[in-house]
Structure 1
Amino acid sequence: TEGCTLHIHSIVLLTMAFSADPTAQPYVVEDCRGVLQLLSDGTVVRSAALPFPVDGNVAYNDHGRVEWQDAVYDAGLGLGLRMYKPTTNAREEGKKLPVLVYFHGGGFCIGSCTWPNFHAGCLRLAAELPAVVLSFDYRLAPEHRLPAAHEDAAAALLWLQNQLASDPWLADAANPRKVFVSGESAGGNIAHHLALRFGRAGLDPMRIEGYILLMPAFCSEQPTQSELDSPPTAFLTRETCDRYCRLFLPAGANKDHPLVNPFGPDSPSLETLDVGRVLVVAAEGDLLRDKNVEYAERLRAARGKENDGVELVVFTGEEHAFFGVKPMSAATGELVRVIRRFMATETEAAC
Structure 2
Amino acid sequence: MTLVDDFSEYVAALDDYNGRLADDYFDHIHSPTGLIARSSPKGPSAPDTSLSSTSLDHGPQVAPQTHFLAGDSSGGNMVHNVAQRWASMSAASPPIRLRLAGAIMIQPFFGGEEQTEAEMVFEKASRIITIVRADHYWREFLPEGATRDHPVVRVCGDGVELAEAFPPAMVVVGGFDLLKDWHARYVETLRRKGKVVRVVECRDAFHGFYAFPELADSGKLIEDMKLFVDEHRSKHSLL
What band does the TM-score fall into relative to the shorter chain? 0.7 to 0.9
Specify the alignment match of 1:123 in structure 2: 19
**TM-superposed deviation, 1:289:** 0.4
Counterpart mapping for 1:44-63 below 5 A: 49=5, 51=7, 53-54=9-10
> Structure 2 residue aligned with 1:219, among 104, 111, 121?
111
Q: Bigger CA drift: 226-235 or 185-194?
A: 226-235
Per-residue CA shift, 1:188-221, capped at 9, x if unaligned?
A: 0011111111029836332111100111111011
Counterpart mapping for 1:164-175 below 5 A: none
Specify the alignment match of 1:340 in structure 2: 226
Partners in 2 of 1:299 and 1:159 — Cα distance?
Answer: 22
Specify the alignment match of 1:247 in structure 2: 140
1:198 aligns with 2:90: no
The two structures have a TM-score, normalised by structure 2, of: 0.84
Counterpart mapping for 1:221-300 below 5 A: 221-235=113-127, 236-263=129-156, 268-270=160-162, 272-300=163-191
The answer to which structure has the higher helix fraction is 2
Partners in 1 of 2:12 and 2:193 — Cα distance?
Answer: 39
1:338 maps to a residue whose letter is D
1:35 aligns with 2:25: no
* Structure with more relative contact order (C-alpha pairs < 8 Å, separation 6 or more): 2
**TM-superposed deviation, 1:35:** 2.5
Partners in 2 of 1:327 and 1:252 — Cα distance?
Answer: 40
The percentage of counterpart residues that share the same residue type is: 26
Partners in 2 of 1:260 and 1:251 — Cα distance?
Answer: 14
Contact 2:38 2:140 in 1 (8 A): yes
Structure having the higher Rg = 1
The two structures have a TM-score, normalised by structure 1, of: 0.59
Specify the alignment match of 1:25 in structure 2: none
The answer to which structure has the higher strand fraction is 1
Contact 1:183 1:213 in 2 (8 A): yes
| Structure 1, unpaired ranges of 5+ | 1-33, 37-46, 55-114, 166-174
Specify the alignment match of 1:207 in structure 2: 99
Specify the alignment match of 1:158 in structure 2: 55
**TM-superposed deviation, 1:242:** 1.3
Contact 2:173 2:202 in 1 (8 A): yes
CA RMSD of aligned residues (A): 2.8
Per-residue CA shift, 1:310-344, capped at 9, x if unaligned?
A: 10111111111222x42564322111000000000
Secondary structure of the residue aligned to 2:26 is: coil
| Structure 2, unpaired ranges of 5+ | none
1:141 aligns with 2:28: no
**TM-superposed deviation, 1:222:** 1.2
Specify the alignment match of 2:208 in structure 1: 321
